Amino acid sequence: MSSNKVRVAVRVRPFSKRGKAEMDLDTQNVVEMADNQTILHSPASTVDKPQQSSRRSQKTFAFDHCFDSSEPGSARFASQETVFSSLGKDILDNAFEGYNACIFAYGQTGSGKSYTMMGGHDSRGLIPRLCDTLFDRVADRSDPGLTHKVEVSYMEIYNEKVHDLLDPRGGKQSLKVREHNLLGPYVDGLSVLAVSSGQDIERLIVEGNKSRTVAATNMNSESSRSHAVFTVIVTQVSWPSTAGSRRTGDAELSLSAVTLN
């Protein structure tokens, strides 16, 4: 496991074509990224003319990863694949070692959380890529003594109420959050569905998204009150190599992805 338990990454998305202010021809990008540093220039200076920005007018911040996705096609452009290979692969490595992992996406409405976590058809985000790779790795583990069970749950927190997005009965009743004395907080009655492929998971995500209070692209005040938590639970069971049927040990780990809105 990497020595850092918490890693922080920032991502800059391209200017939005919808945002009127962002389309303005005078709009300048004031964020510059170099390796793991993010440099904010004061709007008076520009990234194009960094020599004009004095030390006083710029601020530098360091993160574990800085993803510059502001200009598609530029040499430093960070694609969905870049984000996945920098963050997703390590998370899976740790998960198979038995560690729980959580990816938490935070940012203003319209800043690109859903795009980064879920993405679109041609630009799949972290969650679908994680799920595919998870099943690839399960398939690669040819050890006959190991079996894997993969289950998912998907919930929405809206106005402080928890809704099950995968409830087979549909409905919108809210669920209670309870505290287990060993396992900590959990959502009582949340559906946990078994899946056997990345496509299974994507199908459930699509179904679950239909139940969300506000569709992901609908940028309005409602959407900022809606948060989604998608959890993948992988249970790894090892059997004795002699033909016994007793379970010798198992490890359960969960991979959650939280996206605010």
Binding-site annotation: residue ranges for ATP = 107-114
Helices 89-96 and 126-140 cross at an angle (nearest 10°) of 40
Question: Least separation, in Å, of the C-beta of 236 and Mg ion?
Answer: 32
Structural tokens at position 8: 């922080």
Q: Binder to ligand ADP among 84, 115, 230, 239 (CB under 6 A)?
A: 115
Question: Least separation, in Å, of the C-beta of 94 and ligand ADP?
Answer: 25
Q: Which stretch binds Mg ion (CB under 5 A): 86-94, 164-172, 178-186, 213-221?
A: 213-221
261 is a contact residue toward Mg ion (CB under 5 A): yes
112 is a contact residue toward ligand ADP (CB under 6 A): yes
Report the partner that residue 50 touches, choosing among Mg ion, ligand ADP, none (CB closer than 5 to 8 A by kind). none
Q: Are 204 and 166 in contact (CB under 8 A)?
A: yes
Report the partner that residue 88 touches, choosing among ligand ADP, Mg ion, none (CB closer than 5 to 8 A by kind). none
Question: Least separation, in Å, of the C-beta of 147 and ligand ADP?
Answer: 36
Structural tokens at position 161: 């109420």
Q: Which stretch binds Mg ion (CB under 5 A): 65-73, 114-122, 143-151, 174-182?
A: 114-122
19 is a contact residue toward ligand ADP (CB under 6 A): no
261 is a contact residue toward ligand ADP (CB under 6 A): yes
Nearest to 201 by CA among 232, 225, 179: 232
Report the partner that residue 107 touches, choosing among Mg ion, ligand ADP, none (CB closer than 5 to 8 A by kind). ligand ADP
227 is a contact residue toward ligand ADP (CB under 6 A): no
209 is a contact residue toward ligand ADP (CB under 6 A): no
Q: Which is nearer to Mg ion, 83 or 234 (CB)?
A: 83
Question: Least separation, in Å, of the C-beta of 253 and ligand ADP?
Answer: 27
114 is a contact residue toward Mg ion (CB under 5 A): yes
Binding site residues, Mg ion, CB under 5 A? 114, 216, 261
